[in-house]
A = this chain, B = another copy of it.
Amino acid sequence: MTGRVTIKDVAREAGVSYQTVSKVLNHQAKVKPETERSIRQAIERLGYTPHQAASSLRSRRARLIGYSGPPWPLNQANPILDEFLQSMLHAAEAAGYYLLCFPHHSGERQVDPYRRLVDSNRVDGFVLSGVEYDDPRLRYLLDKDFPFVAFGRSNLDMKFSFVDVDGESGMRSVVEHLLSLGRRRIAALAWPETSRVGKDRMSGYRHALQAAGIEVNTEWIARGEGNQAYGRQATQAWLALPGERRPDAVVAFNDAMAVGAMQAIQEAGLRVGVDVAVTGFDDLPMTQFLSPPLTTVHLPVAEIGRQVTEILVGILEGKITKLRHELITPQLVVRHSSTG
């Protein structure tokens, strides 16, 4: 610990001034190839690694990206965080950055960690996930003109770079799939109207039905917390409806609710995929092992993590100066919960 190798040691070893070593390291100025070589050798020989705090202090760059575990829909554990995080970590590392992770707080205190990290110059930018309408974090960062990229869209009047899943398209492909199987009474396990992601997916549901000339039946739209319990309960209510009022398919806005729907159907003595089709959204790892396996929409989480990170790094390095809006079309994964 005590005998740290500094840039001055390297300079002495290479027979140059320490500022020249700094220049070589940061590709700032042209140095003679032989000088560069002897400096690199000295670095190698001494095993020198720059002191990050000193570098940050002078250069005002922390080479750290702030990321908060997302407020995953309504306090469930997030099963795909791993994939998302790993892809960000790899993309960041490739560009010489690491992630500074901090916990999510709810309500008023939500912005506090962001403020603290900005004020203490700990991070160069943020990756936001789980953004919603009027997200106070967006307002704060936009107001400060602090760099960030979001996974998800928000109000149209807020101008920022984002990567998002085209939920409208994903949901449309689900409904079209069910229509092609002959299903006509398609119920939706949706989210509260306040949810931006929910609104997006809902519009895919509506548009697909309308395009097929089918009127949207509000009795078949249930809005809830997005967990398995709600999916089960809402589906039970539908199954209790008489004759033609009972749905022959349930599209859930996420996999958790789809699981609940499957339970309700099986508990009623009906066959999932035969009597009532069920679909999910997200493609959580376990869904392929349900019985029957769940038809769902795959979220390309790793791809999103990579893009979000690369765009942010581009902004930080001054290589991206214009806003970037990436909308990724998710793919339908057909399994037996819809086809029987």
Residue positions of A touching B, CB distance < 8 A: 47, 49-54, 56-57, 62, 64, 67, 69, 72, 76-83, 85-86, 89-90, 93, 98-104, 113, 116-117, 119-122, 228, 259, 263, 266, 284-287, 289-291
Chain B residues with CB under 8 Å of A52's CB are: 53, 56, 62, 120-122
> Which residues in B have their C-beta under 8 angstroms from that of A79?
77, 79, 82, 284-286
* Given contacts A79-B286, A113-B93, A120 and B51 within 8 Å (CB-CB): yes
Evaluate contact between B113 and A102: CB separation under 8 angstroms. no
Q: Please, which residues of chain B bring their CB within 8 A of the CB of A98?
A: 100-102, 117, 122
Q: List 10 A-B contacts (CB under 8 A).
A: A52-B53, A77-B79, A77-B82, A77-B83, A79-B79, A79-B82, A90-B103, A228-B289, A263-B289, A284-B286
A104 nearest CB neighbor, chain B only: B86
Is the Cβ of A82 less than 8 Å from the Cβ of B69? yes
A47 to B, closest residue via Cβ: B119
The distance in angstroms between the C-alpha atoms of A120 and B97, with both chains bound, is: 13
Are B50 and A53 closer than 8 Å at their CB atoms?
no
In angstroms, Cα B79 to Cα A77, docked, is: 8
Give which listed residue, B49, B89, B104, contacts A103 with CB less than 8 A.
Answer: B89
For residue A31, give the distance in angstroms from its CB to the closest CB of chain B. Answer: 23
The answer to whether B291 and A266 touch across the interface, beta carbons within 8 angstroms, is: yes
Residues in B neighbouring A116, C-beta threshold 8 A:
49
Which residue in chain B gives the minimum CB-CB distance to A116?
A: B49
Minimum C-beta distance from A119 to chain B (A): 3
Closest 4 CB pairs of A and B: A49-B119, A53-B56, A286-B286, A89-B103
Q: Separation in Å of the A141 CB from the closest CB of chain B? A: 13
A107, B291: Cα distance in complex, Å = 37
The residues of B that contact A50 with a CB separation of less than 8 Å are 120
By beta carbon, the residue of chain B nearest A119 is B49
Bound CA span A78–B77, Å: 11
* Min distance, Cβ A77 to any Cβ of chain B, angstroms: 5
A257–chain B nearest beta-carbon distance, Å = 11
Bound CA span A103–B64, Å: 14
Residues of chain B contacted by A49 (CB below 8 angstroms): 116, 119-120
Return chain B residues, CB-CB under 8 Å to A90. Answer: 103
Is B82 touching A72 in the complex (CB atoms < 8 A)? yes
Question: In whole angstroms, what is the CA distance A90 to B113 when docked?
Answer: 12
Q: How far, in angstroms, from A80 to B77 measured CA to CA in the complex?
A: 7
Min CB distance A272 to B, Å, is 10
Closest chain B CB from A81 CB (angstroms): 4
Q: Are A78 and B82 in contact (CB under 8 A)?
A: yes
Q: Given known contacts A80-B77, A101-B98, is B89 in contact with A53 (CB within 8 Å)? A: no
Closest to A81 in B: B82
Q: Tell me which of B57, B82, B89 contacts A51 (CB under 8 A).
A: B57
Q: Which of B53, B77, B263, B289 contacts A62 (CB 8 A)?
A: B53
Q: A98-B100, A122-B98, A289-B263 are in contact. Are A69 and B85 (CB under 8 A)?
A: yes
